[in-house]
Amino acid sequence: MYRVVVALILVLAVTLITGSLYAAFRPKDSPPLFRIGGGSGEQGREEAVPAGEVNIFSNIGQLRIPLDGDPSSTLIVAISFPYLAADRAFAEELASRIGDFRSIAREYFAALSPEKAAALNEETAKAEILKRYNALLRLGKIETLYFGDLMVVD
C-alpha cells in the first residue's frame, strides 16, 4: 500500500513539473491545446464576443428590484457585458452611464408581475435591455449581456 501511494505521488509530481516546464517555454500566442466542452470553440459559441483583449463590465452591480403588484416579491439580477479593453473612451462612457444602466434595468424588471418574472424568457429580456443600453451609448456598442444571480424572491 505504501509503495502505491509513493508511486502515485511521484507520478503526480512528474506530471506537474512537466506541465509547468511546458507552459513556461510555450509561445504566448499559441492556441489552447484542447477545449473543455468539445468543439473547435467558435462552433459552439452562440453569443458574439468582441475580438481582441476583452474586459467584463460588471459595475452595474447586483440589483434588487421590487416587482409590480406585489411589493414583497423582489427580482435579484446582476448584469455584466464584455467590451474591448483597448477602447478607453468607450470604457469611460460606460462608467459614466452606470446610473442610467441601473435605471433601465429597474424600469424593465419592475414592470413585471411576480408570475411574469418567474416565467421570464431570459433571451428576450437580454435583447430588450441590450437595445435600451445601446440607445444610450454614443462611443460604442454592447454586443451581448450576461445575467448573473437572476432570481425572484418572495
pLDDT score for 4: 94
Number of helical H runs and strand E runs in the chain? 5, 4
Helix-strand-coil percent breakdown of the chain, rounded to 5? Answer: 45, 20, 35
Domain boundaries, the chain: 54-153
CATH level 3 topology of 54-153: Tetrahydropterin Synthase; Chain A (3.30.479)
Run means of pLDDT, 10 residues per run, the chain, 154 residues: 94 92 82 64 50 88 89 91 92 95 95 89 93 94 91 86
CA 103 to chain centre: 20
